[in-house]
Structure 1
Amino acid sequence: MILDIPKSAIINRIIPKDRFNFKNPTSIERIRWIAKLSQITINVISNNVNEIEVISVDIPDFDISVIKEIKDKIPQEILFIVNEDIAVMEYNKQFFYKKIDSKLSMTGISTDDIRDNFVRQILGIGDTSIPLTDQINKYNKWKQLDNNITDINNKIKKSTQLNKKQELARKRYVLEQRKIKIEGEL
């Protein structure tokens, strides 16, 4: 398990797949409700986030649409652990996921802090002094720049004219410099 959970928070129940209207239920092996992180179970305060559910999903091929279907049926904050090594969490209607090599740490004095720190760990953000929404905005800008650089690289490969390649390379350089600046701020 990529998360150490206190014994008082462990639930460990299988959730029947028929509770969700999956398009292809045979592609999902098992859904298990692992734990409930709340004021009562882990002895922290709750502000906006009353509880965080930890749900394990076993599927042969990772598909974010399966996670979104589960999240539509369960209104709480959820940390999904997919195939024991991928962490998924939704924040402001945006899903973030990452293959986790080490363990996630459950840090914070409230359930809000714990949720925010889970999202930071998934995004690879270490600085907790900046509000998470600001960091996510910077992350989204960084991701957009990364996608634009990839698009430019593909255009350079397809282009046959040297002057077009040079023009695209100059645009790529400017975007790479912006990306490096944002990486320093994350």
Structure 2
Amino acid sequence: MTILEERSRRWQGRGGPELWDAAWDRVRELLGPILTDSWFSLEHDPETGINADGAAGLATALYLYAARSGVHPREVSCSQVRELFPDGEMAQLVARWESLLQGLGHDVHHPLDPVAARWLILRTDNSAPDIPGHPWVADEYDMDVLHRQGPGVIEGLSMILSPFMCETARKKGVSWWEDSTPASAAEG
């Protein structure tokens, strides 16, 4: 069993809606060939690292789109996920997704609901604290590649939908990203 398979089953939780479980199955299918065990070597926290947030963000997007559209998560395209994750609207994304989850009957603050439990982690703002003298505020930390900024759902899905990930998927023969290659990847 790969690290992605093992951890994603924990991230998924138990007792969620069938579409939630199907969304996670789809995430494992899409990311399995790409997020190999070596991707997880730099993660400090296996529950809230950027790979966890990327996988969970994708599962949540697939779940939201499928539930609202009456389709199976396997039928949700990359462009449809991008519709839920539009450029330039990141400040409103957490509130919008929270509203969509509530519209599907989830109490987004209830940790026993597996969808809400993962959402509570995804909505967490990972920005450095704004405390004078705090080590994370130092200029040299701002250049650190492990520095996280903003809600986990935004960071994670940004990584999953990035031009780099699109290219990596193409090289691994995973075509889901091809229906929505970002302009910067197509130009490069």
Q: Confirm or deny a common fold (TM above 0.5).
A: no
| Higher Cα Rg, which structure | 1
**Structure-2-length-normalised TM-score:** 0.26
**Structure-1-length-normalised TM-score:** 0.26
Give the number of the structure with larger relative contact order, counting CA–CA contacts within 8 Å between residues 6 or more apart. 2
